């Protein structure tokens, strides 16, 4: 039944769209369509090849994938015996450090303590060498 109603509604809308009058070849087009616009793009501050080369290799694939970094962070949590029973992963983000060639993964958990009365955040960073550490 829903399929038939959808088809009927589609045909009604399609018919109303095609029933609108189209200007004949002898009729003049509306004034708004006769205007010509300057479509030549003008850049006030174009990006040069030197600007692109200065960026370095920021867009390379990271050595440690998101899943690999999360596994390393979970291994660190087990090793440090951190209670994660009431924690939810909120964010996993690739951050670029001071030298942009050394990105790090940052994982952020929100943990409720004291029967949900207190919210505690746990941040763990994972380097591209596979070293995990707690971030305060």
Average pLDDT over residues 106-121: 86
pLDDT greater at residue 65 or residue 37: 65
Q: Is residue 57 in some structural domain?
A: no
| Within-domain flag for 35 | no
By CB atoms closer than 10 A (0-12, 13-18, 19+), residue 52 is: exposed
Tens digits of residue pLDDT in 16-35 = 666 665 555 555 555 555 55
Would residue 72 count as lying in a domain? yes
CATH of residue 88: 3.10.450
In a domain, 34, yes or no: no
pLDDT for 118 beyond 60: yes
Q: Mean pLDDT of all residues in the chain? A: 78
User: Is residue 94 situated within a structural domain?
Assistant: yes
Per the structure, how many domains does the chain have?
1
Whether pTM > 0.75 for this model: the answer is: no
Range of the domain at 123: 66-135
> Could you tell me the two tokens for 95?
């951050």
Tokens of 113: 């303590």
In a domain, 78, yes or no: yes
């Amino acid at each position: 039944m829903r399929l038939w109603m959808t088809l009927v509604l589609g045909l009604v809308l399609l018919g109303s769209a095609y029933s609108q009058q189209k200007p004949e070849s002898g009729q003049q087009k509306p004034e708004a369509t006769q205007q010509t616009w300057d479509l030549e793009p003008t850049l006030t501050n174009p990006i040069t090849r030197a600007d692109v080369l200065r960026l370095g290799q920021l867009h390379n694939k990271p050595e440690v994938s998101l899943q690999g970094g999360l596994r390393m962070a979970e291994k660190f949590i087990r090793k440090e015996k951190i209670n994660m029973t009431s924690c939810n992963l909120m964010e996993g983000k690739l951050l670029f450090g001071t030298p942009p060639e050394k990105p790090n993964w940052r994982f952020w958990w929100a943990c409720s303590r004291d029967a949900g009365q207190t919210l505690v955040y746990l941040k763990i960073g994972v380097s591209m060498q596979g070293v995990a550490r707690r971030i305060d």
